[in-house]
Each structure stands twice: as C-alpha cells, then as structure tokens.
Chains A and B, each alone.
Chain A
C-alpha cells in the first residue's frame, strides 16, 4: 500500500524523548517521578490546605516531642526519614544532580534483596542518592537499608543520623538479619578504596574485598542486584590524597579537590554533575545456599557482580558524554 491511498494514516508521533534527562517542556514536571501530577488535580480551597498543613506539622512535632514514634531494632526511624531526610535529599537528587534511573523493575517488589553498587565521590553521597532513587522510583517505594563502615558509627552525630536513616554496621550478622526479614540491603564492597580513589581512576572498579557480601546473600538465599552509579565521581574530584595528614586525623584519606580545602566550607558543595543509575537484572542465589562457605563460589560470584557493574558503568558513560550536561 502506498502513501496517498485512502486508509493511509499518519504514523503516531513518537513518545517524547528525554533530552539529557529533561523531558520536553510541554510535559508537566513531576517531582517524584511516579506519574503523580499535583498540578493536575483541582486545587481545593487554599485556606483549608494551609490549615491542614499547619495541623499536620504540629501533630508531627507533638509526636516527636512526646517520643510517640516507632524505631526498629537497628534504630531506623521511618517517620523521621520520610518527613525530614528524604525530602532534603530529594532536592539534591532531583534538582542538583538531575538523576536518571534505569531498570528499577530489576529491584524485587518485595522480600529481601542485596543491592550492590560501585562507590565513589569522596563522601558517600552515592549511597544516599541510591536510597532516594529506590524510594522515589520503585512502585512499592521501598526503603534501602545501607551497610556502612564502622568509621561512620564511630563518629558522634553522623552515627546517629546513619542509624536513624536505616543504616547499620557492615557485618554479616546484621546483613543476614536484615535480608532474612525481607529488607532491601545496600552495600558498597569497594568501601574506602572506592570513594577515596583519585579522579584519574574514575569509573575503574576497585577490589571487592573478600566478597563477604556474597556469602551473606548466599547464606540467606537472597538475590543480588548489581547497580552502576555514574555521576558521583565528579562531585568532589580528588586530585591528590595527603596520606600523612589523613593518618594524623585518623581518616582513610585526606582529599585535595579543586575546591577543597581552598574555598573552606564552600569547598564542601558538591559539583553539579549529571547522575545516571542503572539497576541490572537480579542474580538469584537460592540454589547456592549450601555453598556459602565455598570460597571459590563466593569469589566467582563476587567477580560476576563486579564485571556486571563495570560493564554497565561503561554503557552509562556512553549515554552521558558531558559529565556536567543537563
């Protein structure tokens, strides 16, 4: 059939293509990316809205001051997280880093899973952004329970913020307890080797330690979801690492970045790089539960996860030619 004949119809217009992560202008911008468009609903009486907001805010404050909230065994404070931490981090996630997420369907709907990602960026902002991404994009709005280095839990204030946001010490008993109670656990096997590496080594995965995370997943039969995060490497590019000073301060590294320590507190502002997060298909481990203590199985599986993340990193980098583009 040729064009010009009676039953010829115009091809359907293509779906709007994301231009560097921003949809074309006519679309209604959505803050949470869940297809919830607050602007489309008929706005109720504005006075009532404000009255409700004030009442809700006061009720929240009253609950907090009366200690009338629930905290789980690890110190995770769901209410505080949803009301305070997540909205603050979302500003960074959405407006500052313009994060795009691919393959969120690879994160299981329910039940335990171990999310394994690459680690970079001098401070562990990538861990927090990964948590926001899952909370924001996942249809079940799942919480990510991070496993952090013991240094995090050594520091006052930071340790309590970490615990309240759902993190705990990276150790097998805690990881297994969380996974067997159906939680989504996030781990960064590179640890300080990952976040403390120099800018020249960006997007080169470091060693994955002894693969303790794999044996924890095997023992509980939990699927492993490899994740590649692109963007965190550029937020505080480490040009040099003052090792003696780091040793003196008891830190794993002392970074020199283009802005830190030259600009003082201003140097703590992360550079606004463009972030992409890719969730890869889960690797099932149920059939390997008996082999959790076999070092070869553990090592090979850790290597498989590492290869998957490295390959997705390279793929994502091709999607993002300009680190600071929109």
Chain B
C-alpha cells in the first residue's frame, strides 16, 4: 500500500502550482504516468515544465470518464483558486472551487483503483473571529462562517472531502491547509499587495501573519503523493511576522485606514480592476492567522523554512519598490549620530573658549 502510485492525475495544471507539482511528479522515476486535468490551456510560460505531462483539456464534469479510463491511483486536486479571476469573476471562481471539487470527488469515489487523494486547502478554513485562539491546531473548528469568498469555498471543499473520507475510507486522503504562499517569484494577491510601494492597512490592527515558501509547499505536496500521509495538516513556516513588521522589513510605507474605508476602497478598486483585496484579505489583516505545524513536522519529517526566512526571499525578489530599506535607515542613523556628536563637540570647544 505504501508504494508510490503509478498513475497520478493532477488538476489545475494551467496554473503555477499545479504545473510545478505535475512536472516534479513526471520527473520522479517511481511514477509512471502523470496526467494533467485542466479546462484551460496552460500559458506558454508553463509549457516547458509540462513537457512530460499528458494534458487533458476537460473540466471536472468530464473527469469521471477520464479517471476511470486512466486507472488513476492518486488524484492531486490543486484547481482551487484563492481570488476571482478579473475576466471571469466570482461566479467562475465558485464554479471551479466548489462545483469542481464536488464533481471531481464524485468521480474519484467511482474510480476503482484510487488509493490516494491530496487536496489543496488553506488556513482560511479556520475562519476569523475575535474569540479565536491565538494559534490554530488542525482540530480547531471555525466559530462562524467567514465572510471571505475563498474562506467559504474552502469550508465547502473540506466538507466534500469529509464526505469522501466516509464513503471511501480505504483511500488515504490528505488535506493540506496552506498558509499564504510566498517566494521571490510567486504571484498571488498577497505578494502583489506587499509589492506595492505604499501599502494600505487596517487602522488599529496589526495582524499576525504566517507564510509558506512555495518550494516548501511543493516538497510537502510531492511527499504526500509519493509517500502516505493521510490526515489534515497545517502547512506554514514557523514563527510569525506582524503585518506592520512585514511591511517595514519589505521597506514599504504603510497607510493605516479605518476598516470600513479600506473595505470600500478595496471594493472600488476591485470594480475598476486594479486590485484584488477582498474580504478574505481584510479579515486576515484584522484577525491575523497563526497555525501550529507540529503535526506536519512530525508526520512528514520535513520542516518548512520559517515565515521570516520565506518573507526574506520575497524581499530579495522585490527590492525595487522599497523606499525605507535597512541600509538607508542605518545610514540615517549614522548621519544623525555623527551630527549630534559634531554639534556637541562644537558646543564643548565653544564652551572652553569662554
């Protein structure tokens, strides 16, 4: 049972994470066949990565036929988007996240040779409430249905996985709750947010944030496919950064706005098409989100780099938008100190002359 699956189906290969996972599986000699399932054509940038991956252009609705015909032994469900696509909007996002998962899992349930299911989830599954504990473990239940669309989708997706686990208990189902992805090149709502020279924040709130480096997320995904790790796991870098601290480290300037104003502005910006800050992000900036990764480290024997290290990698890749860098601050410190010393030395020698 613990041998790596020979045929793996990966959904969402038209996007960065899916393409990287599929490419890495294709490069693994233990896996015979990797099939990418996606309704969209992968962009040219990802084409090269997917050279060894069979591509099937079909949405989840057509998946049932494909899964049975391929004899899939493992399914990796990565077609979960965290923000609405500007072209297709929220309806398409929900269609893909919720309906897509439902149909994929229905198909998976009927796949006879299936023994492994890996689903991308998010730490957004913990919701956002003022009564939340400071650190979430995998067993923490959300206190209320969150208002962010992605968070609600995640709750639905995990609900379907729970149903699937009940109906196919012999299939090892792994749910990975990822903290927001970050790296020098990752392009997500949050990385675009931190890349701006001036960053809006919520007045009077300083959320505790955690990130996971994309490379570590890929490692965990790969291990959960070729090894056997059933269960639900938080995937995040240990330690935290306060939002203000992250902005300072990135050398950006923060503009605190009252929560209502920020929501309104974000809504206007979304409608104009220049930004994707939604309730998901605003809730994150108000409540913060910190998870415990003890279970992940014990089960996978792999420790993702810390949140601070992952964020440092992001800073390296986005140096050109920063205004208050550590070097400039150090130079300013030295200039002020020298100035004070000079003035005091001048005053002292002036005093001697009298």
Q: Which residues of A contact B (CB under 8 A)?
A: 47, 50-51, 54-55, 58-59, 61-62, 64-69, 71-75, 77, 150, 153-157, 159-160, 163-164, 168-169, 171, 173-174, 177
The A-contacting residues of B in range 92-144, CB under 8 angstroms, are 130-135, 137, 140
Known A-B contacts A67-B247, A71-B245, A156-B205; the reply to A59 vs B135 at CB < 8 A is no
21 cross-chain CB contacts under 8 A: A58-B336, A59-B333, A62-B329, A64-B248, A66-B324, A67-B246, A71-B240, A71-B241, A73-B135, A73-B240, A74-B134, A74-B208, A74-B290, A75-B240, A77-B242, A150-B131, A160-B205, A163-B208, A169-B132, A174-B134, A177-B292
User: How far does the alpha carbon of A140 sit from the alpha carbon of B110 in the complex, in Å?
Assistant: 63
User: How far does the alpha carbon of A157 sit from the alpha carbon of B204 in the complex, in Å?
Assistant: 4
Apart from A62-B329, A66-B248, A174-B133, what are 19 other A-B pairs with CB-CB below 8 Å?
A47-B348, A59-B333, A66-B249, A66-B329, A67-B248, A67-B249, A71-B241, A73-B135, A75-B242, A77-B242, A150-B131, A156-B202, A156-B203, A159-B205, A163-B206, A168-B133, A169-B131, A173-B140, A174-B134
Minimum CB–CB distance from B338 to chain A (whole Å) comes to 11
Q: Which residues of chain A are near B332, meaning CB under 8 Å?
A: 62
Minimum CB–CB distance from A164 to chain B (whole Å) comes to 8
Known A-B contacts A67-B245, A67-B247; the reply to A150 vs B130 at CB < 8 A is yes
Known A-B contacts A59-B333, A71-B241, A150-B131; the reply to A65 vs B248 at CB < 8 A is yes
User: How far does the alpha carbon of A150 sit from the alpha carbon of B140 in the complex, in Å?
Assistant: 17
Known A-B contacts A59-B333, A73-B208; the reply to A66 vs B135 at CB < 8 A is no
Q: Which residues of chain A are near B135, meaning CB under 8 Å?
A: 73-74, 173-174, 177
Minimum CB–CB distance from A52 to chain B (whole Å) comes to 11
The yes or no answer to B90 lying at the interface (CB within 8 A) is: no
Q: Which residues of chain B are near A50, meaning CB under 8 Å?
A: 344
Q: Which residues of chain A are near B249, meaning CB under 8 Å?
A: 66-68
By the criterion CB–CB under 8 Å, are B134 and A168 in contact? yes
The yes or no answer to B267 lying at the interface (CB within 8 A) is: no
User: How far does the alpha carbon of A155 sit from the alpha carbon of B348 in the complex, in Å?
Assistant: 50
User: How far does the alpha carbon of A74 sit from the alpha carbon of B242 in the complex, in Å?
Assistant: 10
- Residue from A55, A66, A157, A164 in contact with B326 in the complex, judged by beta carbons closer than 8 Å: A66
By the criterion CB–CB under 8 Å, are A62 and B134 in contact? no
The yes or no answer to B239 lying at the interface (CB within 8 A) is: yes
Q: Which residues of chain B are near A177, meaning CB under 8 Å?
A: 133-135, 292
Minimum CB–CB distance from A195 to chain B (whole Å) comes to 19
By the criterion CB–CB under 8 Å, are A54 and B340 in contact? yes
- Residue from A66, A73, A160, A171 in contact with B239 in the complex, judged by beta carbons closer than 8 Å: A73
User: How far does the alpha carbon of A244 sit from the alpha carbon of B348 in the complex, in Å?
Assistant: 65
Query: What is the number of residues of chain B that contact chain A, defined by CB distance less than 8 Å?
Result: 40
Closest to B208 in A: A75
B317-354 to A contact mask, C-beta < 8 Å, 1/0: 00000001010011011001100110010001000000
User: How far does the alpha carbon of A51 sit from the alpha carbon of B259 in the complex, in Å?
Assistant: 42
By the criterion CB–CB under 8 Å, are A71 and B133 in contact? no
Q: Which residues of B contact A (CB under 8 A)?
A: 130-135, 137, 140, 202-206, 208, 239-242, 244-249, 259, 288, 290, 292, 324, 326, 329-330, 332-333, 336-337, 340-341, 344, 348
By the criterion CB–CB under 8 Å, are B290 and A160 in contact? no
By the criterion CB–CB under 8 Å, are A51 and B333 in contact? no
Q: Which residues of chain B are near A164, meaning CB under 8 Å?
A: 206
Q: Is the interface of B mostly helix, strand, loop or mixed?
A: mixed
- Residue from A51, A163, A168, A173 in contact with B341 in the complex, judged by beta carbons closer than 8 Å: A51
By the criterion CB–CB under 8 Å, are B204 and A160 in contact? yes
- Can you list the 8 inter-chain pairs with the closest CB atoms, starting with the nearest? A156-B204, A67-B248, A67-B249, A157-B204, A173-B133, A67-B245, A168-B134, A74-B134
Q: Which residues of chain A are near B134, meaning CB under 8 Å?
A: 73-75, 168-169, 174, 177
- Residue from A51, A69, A154 in contact with B130 in the complex, judged by beta carbons closer than 8 Å: A154
Closest to A177 in B: B135
By the criterion CB–CB under 8 Å, are B329 and A173 in contact? no
By the criterion CB–CB under 8 Å, are B333 and A71 in contact? no
User: How far does the alpha carbon of A119 sit from the alpha carbon of B138 in the complex, in Å?
Assistant: 34
Closest to B256 in A: A156
Minimum CB–CB distance from A61 to chain B (whole Å) comes to 8
By the criterion CB–CB under 8 Å, are B205 and A171 in contact? no
Q: Which residues of chain B are near A65, meaning CB under 8 Å?
A: 248, 324, 329
By the criterion CB–CB under 8 Å, are B242 and A71 in contact? yes
By the criterion CB–CB under 8 Å, are A171 and B131 in contact? yes
Q: Which residues of chain B are near A159, meaning CB under 8 Å?
A: 130, 204-205
User: How far does the alpha carbon of A74 sit from the alpha carbon of B253 in the complex, in Å?
Assistant: 24
Closest to B325 in A: A66
User: How far does the alpha carbon of A57 sit from the alpha carbon of B203 in the complex, in Å?
Assistant: 26
Closest to B249 in A: A67
Q: Which residues of chain A are near B245, meaning CB under 8 Å?
A: 67, 69, 71
Known A-B contacts A160-B206, A174-B135; the reply to A55 vs B337 at CB < 8 A is yes
Q: Which residues of chain A are near B204, meaning CB under 8 Å?
A: 155-157, 159-160
Most B Cβ at <10 Å: residue of A54, A62, A72, A150: A62
User: How far does the alpha carbon of A72 sit from the alpha carbon of B248 in the complex, in Å?
Assistant: 17
Minimum CB–CB distance from B290 to chain A (whole Å) comes to 5
User: How far does the alpha carbon of A72 sit from the alpha carbon of B245 in the complex, in Å?
Assistant: 12
Closest to A58 in B: B333
By the criterion CB–CB under 8 Å, are B208 and A62 in contact? no
Minimum CB–CB distance from B123 to chain A (whole Å) comes to 13
Known A-B contacts A59-B333, A66-B329; the reply to A169 vs B208 at CB < 8 A is no
- Residue from B137, B246, B288 in contact with A173 in the complex, judged by beta carbons closer than 8 Å: B137
- Residue from B133, B241, B259, B336 in contact with A169 in the complex, judged by beta carbons closer than 8 Å: B133
Q: Which residues of chain B are near A75, meaning CB under 8 Å?
A: 134, 206, 208, 240, 242, 288
Q: Which residues of chain A are near B337, meaning CB under 8 Å?
A: 54-55, 58
